[in-house]
Amino acid sequence: MSNLLNNSCLDALLICTTHLYDSRILNLKNENEELKLENFWLKYNINTFQSVMKTFNYFYTQCACISCKKNNRFSDSNLEDIRFNNKSSNNCKFKVPFEWTLTKFGLTYTNIECNSDQKHQYINNELCSNAEFHFENSKYMDWSSIKFGTKLTSAKLIYNKELKKYKHFIDYFN
């Protein structure tokens, strides 16, 4: 009888404390996921994206227009490089191929046109409103003022498919 009483007390204790252990483990798991996401953003921040833009320009489009120079996609050290053309031109060869490459990686962007009192929003060059996207490109639509869009910023876990697309894009060019 004494052995039966001890087992039932242990079972009762186990049942009562399981919830406490489970919630603590769950809290630690959530904290771990938050730290992983924070670490992701430290590595794949907007500066990393801008570095990829510079790499893309250097190896693929070789644009030396005013906009690329102003936005640090072209530097004075490249002035002697004969591959770079359209120096000091307003005709940018970077924008269209870069946007095409983003779409090939499954990434979306919005160009916010600020030329008038009204803002017009374009997703992958199509007029739209209230859509989710990966990147927001505003201020003259020349990739000079870039923000992460809601498809990236709303991710709560590192395993989010939109974060994976972005990571794949960055890793491909780095």
Per residue in 63-83, pLDDT tens? 888 888 888 887 666 656 655
Residues 20 and 49 in one domain: no
Range of the domain at 145: 44-173
State how many domains the chain has.
2
**Residue 24, helix vs strand vs coil:** helix
Point out which residues pair with 135 in neighbouring strands: 109, 148
Residues 66 and 126 in one domain: yes
Q: Residue 66's closest CA among 51, 81, 87, 84?
A: 87
Residues 49 and 110 in one domain: yes
Residues 72 and 120 in one domain: yes
Q: What is the pLDDT of residue 84?
A: 61
Residues 51 and 124 in one domain: yes
Residues 32 and 69 in one domain: no
Residues 13 and 70 in one domain: no
Q: What is the pLDDT of residue 160?
A: 94
Helix or strand holding residue 46 (H, E): helix 46-56
Residues 159 and 103 in one domain: yes
Residue segments in the chain with a per-residue pLDDT below the cut of 50: 1-2, 4, 115-119, 123-130
Q: Distance (Å, rounded) from C-alpha 130 to C-alpha 135?
A: 14
Residues 83 and 163 in one domain: yes
Q: What is the pLDDT of residue 72?
A: 84
Q: What is the pLDDT of residue 174?
A: 86
Q: Distance (Å, rounded) from C-alpha 59 to C-alpha 27?
A: 46
Residues 58 and 10 in one domain: no
Q: What is the pLDDT of residue 118?
A: 47
Residues 34 and 82 in one domain: no
Residues 66 and 130 in one domain: yes
Q: Distance (Å, rounded) from C-alpha 51 to C-alpha 37?
A: 21
Q: List the beta strands (DSSP E) in the chain.
A: 109-113, 120-123, 126-128, 135-138, 145-148
